[in-house]
Structure 1
Amino acid sequence: MAGGNGLLEVRIAVPAKDASRIARLLVEERLAACAQVVPGMTSTFRWDGEVTTAEEQLILAKTHRSRFEEILDRVGEAHPYETPEIIAVPIVEASAAYAAWLVDEVAAGERP
């Protein structure tokens, strides 16, 4: 499948205690077709003028570009951080069967 397919992988850094809940919420609400939680991530960043290190987990949510704004809103509501990391990268290539499944899953949740 070509790169202009609109498929995205949304990456969300979260505290370990919140990762499964947010991943499940994204799939249950059909904002993502799949959400994988990768454990054991250590993040270092500057917040409120201080360098901070936090143990986090990474959610990799597979979705379509048309759902990204809703993901931003929903994760913003559910995430404990004031400014959560929510970034998207395009899925440049995917098997036709996987891409079709992904689009079908998230399209089923779109509002009319």
Structure 2
Amino acid sequence: MHKNLRLLYVTTETKQQASDLGRKIIEANLAACVNIIPGMESIYKWDNAIEEGSETILLVKTHISKVQPVTHFILDNHSYQCPCIISLNIAEDEGNPEYLQWLFEESAER
């Protein structure tokens, strides 16, 4: 069964930062896989001003037991004062069962 899988949505300032964070997360066995999507445009409010800029998305696929360690790692190593880190549930009965099983086996506590 593929219970308690999560997808963390993280934004970074650069593709290099996403790559560095992603590689270290995988090396530390905190996730099964990361995906890096450069070239996202963001518009947001910060300090009462509207900001606009290019960012890179880092998607982290992991088990719920590793969400907090991944979150702490990102907070400790991110360039932003308040980085976007959002955990989304991965439905256990939707998607490719073989992939979900692999994701579970690679990311669950051992």
- Number of the residue aligned with 1:78: 77
**Which runs of 5 or more residues in structure 2 are unaligned?**
none
- Number of the residue aligned with 2:43: 44
- Number of the residue aligned with 1:13: 11
**Helix, strand or coil at the partner of 1:55:** strand
Normalising by structure 1, what TM-score? 0.86
Query: RMSD between aligned alpha carbons?
Result: 1.7
- Number of the residue aligned with 2:28: 29
Alpha-carbon offset, residue 87 of structure 1: 0.3
Alpha-carbon offset, residue 54 of structure 1: 1.8
Aligned-partner Cα distance in 1 for 2:28–2:74: 12
**Helix, strand or coil at the partner of 2:69:** helix
**Helix, strand or coil at the partner of 2:7:** strand
Count of residues paired in the alignment: 107
Matched, 1:95 2:96: yes
Deviation beyond 6 Å, 4+ runs, structure 1: none
Aligned-partner Cα distance in 1 for 2:57–2:83: 12
**Which runs of 5 or more residues in structure 1 are unaligned?**
none
**Helix, strand or coil at the partner of 2:10:** strand
